[in-house]
């Protein structure tokens, strides 16, 4: 079983749609969770951290369910510029800030 699992997609949605991505992780001792965004042939960049209470940044909402070891990302009012791969990232418990990346979920927003 992979340490971080995501639906690879692609998710093809029209502008303005709401889309949700899910992620599961295997290590119950993990303490920190992130969503990174990666554009085609570019480096990953932090989109947002994920907190136990859930957090929102503009059109983006992240949720964490520790009991189910499940993380989600909701994007509202999708823009063309949201087209990218979204990587679910979990820290490796006990390491020096070692992060485990999911393979990513690809989003394509069309006009």
Partner 1 sequence: DAMVIQNPRYQVTQFGKPVTLSCSQTLNHNVMYWYQQKSSQAPKLLFHYYDKDFNNEADTPDNFQSRRPNTSFCFLDIRSPGLGDAAMYLCATSREDGSVYEQFFGPGTRLTVL
Nearest in space to 46 (alpha carbons), one of 57, 38, 54, 58:
38
Residues that bind partner 1 (CB under 8 A): 4, 8, 31-32, 34, 41-46, 49, 87, 91, 96-99, 101-104
CA 29 from centroid of its chain's CA atoms: 19
- Residue 74: which residues within 8 A CB-CB, separation 6 or more? 18, 19, 20, 60, 61, 62, 63
Please name the residue that has the structure tokens 């932090």.
Answer: 46
Q: How far is the CB of 78 from partner 1 (least distance, A)?
A: 22
Q: How far is the CB of 6 from partner 1 (least distance, A)?
A: 9
| CA dist., res. 59 & res. 65, Å (int) | 20
Between 31 and 65, name the residue whose CB sits nearer to partner 1.
Answer: 31
Between 1 and 43, name the residue whose CB sits nearer to partner 1.
Answer: 43
Q: How far is the CB of 61 from partner 1 (least distance, A)?
A: 19
Between 49 and 72, name the residue whose CB sits nearer to partner 1.
Answer: 49
Q: How far is the CB of 55 from partner 1 (least distance, A)?
A: 14
């Amino acid at each position: 079983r992979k340490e971080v699992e995501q639906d690879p997609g692609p998710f093809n949605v029209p502008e303005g749609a709401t889309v949700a991505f899910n992620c599961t992780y295997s290590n119950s001792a993990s303490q920190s969770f992130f969503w990174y965004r990666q554009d085609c042939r570019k480096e990953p960049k932090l989109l947002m951290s994920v907190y136990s209470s859930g957090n929102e940044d503009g059109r983006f909402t992240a949720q964490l369910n520790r009991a189910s070891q499940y993380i989600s990302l909701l994007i509202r009012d999708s823009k063309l510029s949201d087209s990218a791969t979204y990587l679910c990232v979990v820290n490796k418990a006990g390491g020096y800030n070692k992060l485990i990346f999911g393979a990513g979920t690809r989003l394509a927003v069309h006009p």
